[in-house]
Amino acid sequence: MEFFINPDISLSDKLLEVLYMFMGLICIYTGIKNIRDKTNKNRIGTGIFWGLLGVVLGFGNWIPDKVNGALIILLTLPAILKKVGTGEKKPISQEKIQMFADKIGIKLFLPALSMGIFAIIFALTDFGALIGIGVGVIVGVILLMFYSKENTLKVFFNEASDTLTILGPLSLMPILLASLGAIFEKAGVGQVISSLVSYIVPEGNVTVGIIVFALGMVLFTMIMGNAFAAITVMLVGVAQPFILQYGANPIIIGMIGLTAGYCGTLLTPMAANFNVLPVAMLDMKDRFGVIKNQILLSICLLIFQIIYMIIFS
């Protein structure tokens, strides 16, 4: 409780901690639900994975670092041993889906839009976009409960649990990859890249620097699966020494450079939430079907972004 009454900790941090606690409780619920699911042949391993993740995610702030580290190692073991899986899920009938579609119609998109809208609103305040997303989720749940009396809190917990179970250990990938970006920066990877790029980019040639920066963003995003992890390294290793110091607009380079990284997101299975989850949820036969359909779009976007940075930076 000291965390919440401590005047030295901002209200934003306190609210963010509450959101993490809520996410942790959902993970714990997912673990308990899977342990009780007799149709899941890996129910014990699945329960351990989600239960420990929930403890670390929701209450890690009050747990000693070494204990957190031990719990993280333990929760990876079921995943490594392929003991994290799903049970049988009763499908919703097409008649029921059509009934709700006819009843709700276009209003179905409002709960999803609420997350983006509140993220933008809160991003303009001291609270930040993450808290805005959390508020948007709560508003979305409330809207869905107004749409139908069948949408109880238990339904939302069950659906959240089922979605996490389907995604499995891949749900950790964005967190791990974002952490990897910070580790790379601390380890001096950016400086190493800068040294290597100096052999390719002629001194003062901003155009070539922009091309190398954009291609590097795509490559590192494909490796890390996350443009936010890649841009930390690429800004230090390429953008600052070969582009920004020669007067290029940092807003254009940072903004468009990040979206160039998203072109790499379209091309890699490491971006599990974009390219692997749809395959699993839609039961697609081609594991790389989503990526194959995005290749041409990604190349076209990248060319446009490079030209845009060259002209307007």
In this structure, are residues 30 and 54 in contact, taking their beta carbons and an 8 Å threshold? yes
In this structure, are residues 296 and 236 in contact, taking their beta carbons and an 8 Å threshold? no
pLDDT in the model for residue 240: 86
pLDDT in the model for residue 166: 82
CA atoms within 13 A on the CB side of 175: 9
**Burial environment of residue 237 by CB neighbours within 10 A (0 to 12, 13 to 18, 19 or more):** buried
Please report, for the chain, the start and end positions of each structural domain, with discontinuous segments joined by +: 2-80, 94-151, 171-312
CA 101 to chain centre: 28
SS3 201: coil
In this structure, are residues 205 and 243 in contact, taking their beta carbons and an 8 Å threshold? no
Distances 213 to 96, 204, 232, 249, 255 between C-alpha atoms, Å:
50, 14, 12, 14, 13
- C-alpha–C-alpha distance, residues 193 and 182, integer Å: 15
Amino acid at 158: N
pLDDT in the model for residue 154: 86
- C-alpha–C-alpha distance, residues 313 and 306, integer Å: 10
Orientation of helix 227-234 relative to helix 250-265, angle to 10°: 130
3-state helix, strand, coil in the chain (%, to 5): 80, 0, 20
SS3 31: helix
- C-alpha–C-alpha distance, residues 241 and 234, integer Å: 10
In this structure, are residues 50 and 37 in contact, taking their beta carbons and an 8 Å threshold? no
Q: pLDDT digit of tens for each residue in the chain (313 aa)? A: 556 556 667 778 888 888 999 999 999 999 999 999 988 899 999 999 999 999 999 998 889 989 999 999 999 999 889 899 888 877 777 777 777 777 777 787 888 888 889 988 988 888 888 888 889 999 988 988 888 877 788 888 888 888 888 878 877 876 776 677 667 767 777 677 777 777 788 878 899 999 999 999 999 888 877 787 788 788 888 888 889 888 898 889 988 998 999 999 899 887 777 787 777 767 778 888 888 989 999 999 999 999 999 998 8
Instruction: For the beta carbon of residue 296, count every other beta carbon within 10 angstroms.
Output: 9
pLDDT in the model for residue 263: 92
pLDDT in the model for residue 300: 95
